[in-house]
Chains A and B, each alone.
Chain A
Amino acid sequence: MTTSNGLAQIIIGCKNGDSKCFSQIVDMYASRCYGYFYRLTGNNDVSDELLSELFVKLVEKIASYKGGSFDGWLFKIASNIFHDYLRSKQRRKKLLDVQKEQLESQFTEPKQSDNEQIDKLQIQLTRLDTNTRELIMLRFYSKLSFKEIALMRSEPIGTTLAKLHRGLKKLRELMEG
């Protein structure tokens, strides 16, 4: 576990163009960020692409990181990438003129690639709406506090708390049912 001071040094290294520091960031965050994307998309290949995009964005934007929670900063970028992905799928869908299907179910329907097994959790997650699912995953993988998540989502903490409680309770019922 890297201390906050250690992380600060790594970030300074990234800003100064130290490739070793950048590698350290990739190693530290790849697993959590991949998990976040996987649980939102249910697809290994898409998660891999989104993870790649996240690290490219990290390189592009690291100079603009001005302190505060690095995890919050990074997961905000991850969240934006996920939303861009949803929008691009939506545009593609319109172009293809596929009618009357719930976008959400298409986006989140687990698709198996070779040797991939969809677990029970992934199946039940598709029964939650995108917003709730994203909130749950943001909380779980970013490990941010409710206060930080509320700030990131520009909503009162009570709203975040209520949404997350409702979503987690429903997920638990689905998993135990």
Chain B
Amino acid sequence: MNNENQENLKELFEKFTDAEQAESCAEDVQKAEEILRKHPAPEPDAMLIANRSSSYVPHGDRPEFIPKRSPQTQWYATYLDNTHRNLGE
């Protein structure tokens, strides 16, 4: 009874309980996780992700990126600019 994490759930539960109960517990977990799979969460907005993943550019010679288009993270660009200004860069 392996799950997608390649764990043997029954064996795992058997470390803490008897074989019969371990099998029942493993089955409970698998059935509940099947319910979760059947009810996928909404996806993030594709356009937003496309913008986000393409909106990071190297900042100076450091391995940092500034989100230049995403309004939600615009504060970060401002924060970095201010920090660099204060440091006299």
Contacts and interface: CB of A to CB of B under 8 A. Distances in A.
Nearest to A149: B5
Given A168-B33, A171-B32, A35 B41 contact: yes
A140 B30 CA distance: 11
B7 A145 contact: yes
A126 interface: no
Interface string B29-73: 101110110011111110011001110111000111101001011
Contact of B70 (A22, A52, A164): A52
Contacts of A38: 41-42
16 contacts: A19-B65, A23-B54, A26-B52, A34-B42, A34-B43, A35-B40, A39-B41, A48-B48, A62-B63, A140-B33, A143-B4, A146-B5, A162-B16, A164-B29, A165-B13, A168-B32
Given A17-B65, A56-B67, A169-B28, 19 more contacts: A22-B65, A26-B52, A27-B49, A30-B49, A34-B43, A35-B40, A48-B48, A52-B70, A56-B73, A56-B76, A62-B63, A116-B42, A139-B33, A158-B15, A164-B29, A165-B28, A165-B29, A169-B32, A171-B35
